[in-house]
Amino acid sequence: MSRPLGIVYFIRCGDSGPIKIGYTAKPINGRLNGMQCGNPEPLHLLATMPGDRGLEQSLHELFAVHRQAREWFRATPELLWLIDELARDAYAPRTPEPVHGLRERIYGLGRDMVNRMRAAQQASQQIDPEVEEIVRASIRSSRQMRRRRAAAG
């Protein structure tokens, strides 16, 4: 039995605070209102994407080195870039993707970060060790997912 498809969301606390990566199977406005009720800072919905808890957990793993508390993460350039990509895609017409396709897309974004890292190295720029660890963790997760899929298929 497949997991229920819901919404993976990105909510920011205040204008410069941490970002929550969460999942809900209910309407996102109700979730946002419920969170705002217990928070003195204004919360801003930055982006959403169709997904399940597995996708939410994959994102948590991808940004684990930037975790502040539970599902709240520092607003790093990489996380903000991902949110910008999702927000931009929200307006592009396309057919719905299966959840495993969305996971592959996230790992594709990780590969893009690898390419950015390599370009920066070639330009003799310093690479943030935290960014490097995110990318390496993303690649490891992607390889593990392909191995599991190959073993099951």
Q: In terms of C-beta distances under 8 Å and separation of at least 24 residues, what long-range contacts does 91-100 make, across chains too?
A: 96/50, 97/50, 99/2, 99/3, 99/5, 99/50, 99/51, 99/52, 99/54, 99/55, 100/149
The fraction of the chain above a pLDDT of 90, given in percent, is 21
31-41 pLDDT, tens digit each: 888 899 888 99
- What number of H helices and E strands is found in the chain? 5, 5
For residue 96, what pLDDT is reported?
A: 47
What is the pTM (predicted TM-score) of this model?
A: 0.61
For residue 94, what pLDDT is reported?
A: 46
6-54 pLDDT, tens digit each: 888 999 999 999 999 999 998 888 888 889 988 899 999 998 888 888 8
